[in-house]
Amino acid sequence: MNSILTFKGRDGVDSFNNFIPTISTNYQSIYTSFGSKQNEVYVSSDSSTLPERVTNASYQMVPSFMRNITDDTRGLVIVIDDFHNDVSQLQNENILTDLSTQFTWLDFIMVDAYLTKDVLYSILQSITNFANSTHILPNDFKIANFIRFRHPNETEQTLEIWIPDFIQRILDTLHDGKYNQSYYQWYGYSWYTYDYIYCYKPYKIAYAFYATTIYDILHKSLISTRLSKYNMIDVQYYINRKDKRLHSIWDQFKANSIPLVL
């Protein structure tokens, strides 16, 4: 394929679902994102003490772990979002086109759709059916949800609440749960974890309990620097001087989180 295929609207979702089983390319990795489109170039911080940051939308759409897959393998990247208008769609198509010239071992599909439960179920079923039929291993199959809002209204709050649990319930049932630990949730706009996602099934409850503690650990160890693989050692140095409870909380975070950007 090695091009950008775009499917739009409800008919587009049906066309996408019909197209997926016909793909003949032998992929070794599949990555699907929901809500990863670029809305703005710069993202402001809610804190006056933290600087504005450049959006990581291109890494939400194509994370480092897809950019750096092993030689002689191919990957499929599927970007699903409500692009609202032609300008937004064209802007994000251009981003993916640029990425496709850099990472020629990746193929790209865009699906422009507003997510309802029926639409989301049909998409998840199509993608997992394809992954299973082509023997994609669970570790090489990832779904990431980036549908988060900085100042959500009531409708947006509803989306943030139902989508993660719905995705997980569907993956728990399809193919006997083969891909039920392949779903990752974005940490959201929080400054320190902006470039990270976490495995939803094993970490959802723990993170809900310890989100504030994680933020406090990162704030005290990194001050105003976002978390990355390069400063993990600084956080570990801070943790090594703390009690076993903080050690355990930090170890759980590390075990269940992966970076979008390397």
Q: Is residue 100 part of a domain?
A: yes
Say whether both 156 and 260 belong to one domain: no
Mean pLDDT (the chain) is 94
Which residues neighbour 160 within 8 Å (Cβ) at sequence distance 6 or greater? 147, 148, 149, 152
| Distance spanning both ends of the chain, measured CA to CA | 27
Say whether both 175 and 231 belong to one domain: no
* pTM greater than 0.85 (yes/no): yes
Q: Quick one: angle between helices 200-222 and 154-173, nearest 10? A: 130
The residues pairing with 111 across neighbouring beta strands, listed in sequence order, are 7, 80
The answer on pLDDT for 48 being more than 70 is no
> What local confidence, expressed as pLDDT, does residue 177 receive?
98
Show which of 186, 211, 235 is a domain's final residue: 186
Say whether both 62 and 124 belong to one domain: yes
Task: Specify whether the CB–CB gap between 114 and 83 falls below 8 A.
Answer: no
Task: Specify whether the CB–CB gap between 248 and 255 falls below 8 A.
Answer: no
Cα separation, 59 vs 67, in Å, equals 9
Q: Is residue 194 part of a domain?
A: no
Say whether both 150 and 239 belong to one domain: no
Q: From residue 223, how far is each of 17, 52, 55, 234, 238 by CA, in Å?
A: 46, 15, 20, 11, 12
> What local confidence, expressed as pLDDT, does residue 1 receive?
63
Q: Residue 63 sits in which domain range?
A: 4-186
Question: Cα-flanking dihedrals φ and ψ of residue 34, to 5°?
Answer: -115, 125
> What local confidence, expressed as pLDDT, does residue 53 receive?
85
Say whether both 142 and 218 belong to one domain: no
Say whether both 181 and 213 belong to one domain: no
Task: Specify whether the CB–CB gap between 34 and 163 falls below 8 A.
Answer: yes
Say whether both 248 and 169 belong to one domain: no
Say whether both 116 and 151 belong to one domain: yes
The answer on pLDDT for 70 being more than 80 is no
Cα separation, 122 vs 89, in Å, equals 22
Say whether both 165 and 117 belong to one domain: yes
Q: What angle do CA 245, 251, 255 make, to 5 degrees?
A: 150
> What local confidence, expressed as pLDDT, does residue 2 receive?
62
Highest mean pLDDT pick, 20-24, 101-105, 195-199: 195-199
Q: Is residue 246 part of a domain?
A: yes
Domains: count for the chain: 2
Percent of the chain with pLDDT strictly greater than 70: 97
Q: Is residue 191 part of a domain?
A: no
Say whether both 32 and 140 belong to one domain: yes
Show which of 153, 186, 219 is a domain's final residue: 186
> What local confidence, expressed as pLDDT, does residue 105 receive?
93
Say whether both 56 and 161 belong to one domain: yes
Cα separation, 178 vs 168, in Å, equals 12
Say whether both 17 and 85 belong to one domain: yes
Task: Specify whether the CB–CB gap between 82 and 112 falls below 8 A.
Answer: yes
> What local confidence, expressed as pLDDT, does residue 72 receive?
85
> What local confidence, expressed as pLDDT, does residue 151 receive?
85
Q: Quick one: angle between helices 200-222 and 244-256, nearest 10? A: 120
Q: Is residue 60 part of a domain?
A: yes
pLDDT single digits (tens) 208-252 = 999 999 999 999 999 989 999 999 999 999 999 999 999 999 999
Show which of 156, 186, 216 is a domain's final residue: 186
Closest CA relative to residue 111, chosen from 30, 27, 14: 14
